[in-house]
């Protein structure tokens, strides 16, 4: 399956849609279903689009913002304990991606709370 999206004005991803299943796929087990329900890493399409000149009209700063967004999202396509640029997978099943997304949201929530606490302390 493929993730389609567009960049908002601040280069976050919006209108995210998953495409590629017809609903007629034959599965006999959860394992079969998870093998069918794999999502391609959006970094693959972003890289192809960049090579094809899709982002040529963006300024360097705008392109960097889009690239940073894709790098952040692409980090979800890793198995636990893996790190480094080469560890991102071409595709991953939806449950693994969901688990990674929950972990990321949790870490970002902690960072945001710490940031807010520091801001409150320095405001006085």
Q: What is the pLDDT of residues 53-62, one digit of tens each?
A: 999 999 999 9
Q: Tally helices (H) and strands (E) across the chain.
A: 4, 4
CB neighbour list of residue 42: distance below 8 Å, 6 or more residues apart: 3, 5, 13, 70, 73, 74
Q: Read off the pTM.
A: 0.75
Range of the domain at 53: 2-122
The pLDDT tens digits for 76-96 are 999 877 777 678 899 999 888
The pLDDT tens digits for 7-16 are 889 888 888 8
Say how many domains are in the chain.
1
């Amino acid at each position: 399956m493929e993730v389609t999206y567009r960049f908002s004005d601040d280069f976050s991803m919006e209108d995210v849609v998953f495409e590629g299943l017809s609903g007629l796929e034959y599965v006999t087990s959860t394992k079969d279903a998870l093998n069918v329900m794999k999502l391609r890493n959006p970094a693959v399409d972003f890289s192809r689009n960049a090579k094809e000149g899709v982002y040529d009209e963006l300024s360097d700063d705008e392109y960097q913002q889009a690239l940073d967004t894709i790098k952040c999202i692409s980090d979800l396509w890793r198995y636990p304990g893996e790190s480094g640029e080469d560890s991102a997978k071409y595709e991953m099943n939806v449950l693994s991606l969901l688990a990674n997304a929950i972990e990321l949201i949790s870490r970002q929530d902690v960072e945001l709370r710490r940031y807010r606490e520091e801001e409150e302390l320095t405001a006085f």
